[in-house]
A = this chain, B = another copy of it.
Amino acid sequence: MKPVAIVGASGYSGEELVRLLLSHPHAELAAVTSRQSAGQTVAQVFPKFAHHPRARALRFSEPRVELLAKSAQIVFLALPHGVAAEFAKPLLELGCQVIDLSADFRVKNPAVYQDFYGHSHPAPELLAQAVYGLSEIYRTEIAKASLVASPGCYPTSILLPVIPLLRAGLIRPDGIIADSLSGVSGAGRKAEMDYLFVECNESVRPYAVPRHRHLSEIEQELSLAAGHRVTIQFTPHLIPVNRGILTTLYLPPTEHFGDSAAMDALGEKISTCLQEAYGNEPFVRLLEGQELPDTKNVTGTNVIEIAWRLDPRTGRLIVMSAEDNLVKGASGQAVQSLNLMCGWPETAGLV
C-alpha cells in the first residue's frame, strides 16, 4: 500500500477523491488536510464514509507541507487555482509526486494563464515538467510524471471525443462548437446565493458566455491535436442535477457527404477512428445503434459515454458525451493518473 494524501479535501472533488482512495486496493489515504475541518475525522466531515474504518481513524489536519511530505509519496491537490501552485512547489522539492486538480499547471503558456485567470502564474518554472492528465491521450507521459495537471471537467468532456477526430483529419479545426450542461457540484461547495437549492431547482441557465476559463486548456490541447492554433466556441449551462456533464459538439467534417453512399463511407471512417482510439479503453463507452448519452448512466463511475450522428441536411457531425463531472471530469481521472504513475492496473479502485 502506497501512502497518498489530499490537500483541500473538504470540497466536492476532494470528497470524491476521499471516496475513491478509501476503497483503493493499492493506495492508502495517509493524510487529508482542510483548514475548516482540521481536527475532525473523515467520518465526521463525511458521514457517508463512516462505515470505512479508515474514515473513522483518519483526522483532517492543517495543511503543513513537511508533514505531508513525510506521510505521503503522492499528494493530490484539490485547491483553488493560484493556491495549488504554492503547495506543489515545496512538495515537489521535498520529493513528492503531485497530482493537481486545479487549473494551475494545465496551461503551458503563462501568458494565456494570466489572460484567462486574471493573475500572473504563481510558478511558471514548473510548467515544463507538468503533464496534462488526460490518461487516454497522455498515458506514457503520465506514467513518468512527477507533476500531473489533472484536466478540468468540461475539457475532459470535449477533448476525449474531439482529439481523435482532429488527429485523423476527419474534422476541420475551425468552426468547432461545444455546448455543455453541468450539474451544480461543478460550482464547488461554496456558500453563495447563486447555488442555493431554490435558485437552481427549476432553473436552467447559461453562464460565462462567451469566454469561460476552461477555453484556455481546451484550445491548447485541440491545437496540439490539430497541429496548429484552434479556437472554439464553448457555452456552459447550469442544470439542476447534482452531478454530470452532457456536452453536445457541432463539428465540421473535412469531407462533404452529399449522398447516402458518401455518408456511409464517412460514417465508417468516424466509427473506425473512434474504435481505434477507444475500443479498448476501459473508461470510454462508444454507444452504438439508437443509444444516446445520458448522464445518469455514468454518474458515480469513471466512464465517459460518446455517441455521434452525421446530419445529411446540414453536413455536420454531431458528437455527444456524458461524464460525471466529479469522477471522470475530476477525481476519477486523477486516480487513473495515480494508477499510471504507480504502475498499477489503470482500473484499480475505479470499477
Contacts and interface: CB of A to CB of B under 8 A. Distances in A.
Interface string A280-322: 0011010100011111111111010100011101101010101
Contacts of A291: 47
B203 A296 contact: yes
Nearest to A174: B314
A128 interface: no
B299 A233 contact: no
Contact of A295 (B197, B198, B203, B305): B203
A311 B240 contact: no
Copies in the complex: 4
A332 to B, nearest CB: 12
A255 to B, nearest CB: 17
A191 interface: yes
A52 interface: yes
A12 interface: yes
Given A179-B248, A197-B184, A295-B205, A52 B351 contact: yes
Given A239-B181, A301-B48, A293 B205 contact: yes
A202 B241 contact: yes
Given A242-B197, A313-B211, A316-B233, A297 B48 contact: yes
B202 A244 contact: yes
A246 B210 contact: no
A268 interface: no
A246 B235 CA distance: 13
Interface string A186-202: 00011111011111111
Interface in A147-199: 177, 179, 181, 183-185, 189-193, 195-199
Contacts of A309: 209-210
Given A185-B198, A201-B197, A303-B51, A206 B240 contact: no
Interface residues of A, number: 76
A211 B48 CA distance: 26
Given A48-B296, A50-B285, A196-B191, A204 B320 contact: no
A37 to B, nearest CB: 12
Contacts of A190: 196
Contact of A181 (B181, B192, B201, B299): B181
Contacts of A197: 184, 195-197, 199-201, 240, 242
Contacts of A223: none
Contacts of A200: 197
B204 A314 contact: no
Please give me the 3 A-B residue pairs with the lowest Cβ-Cβ distance, nearest first.
Answer: A210-B311, A203-B296, A197-B200
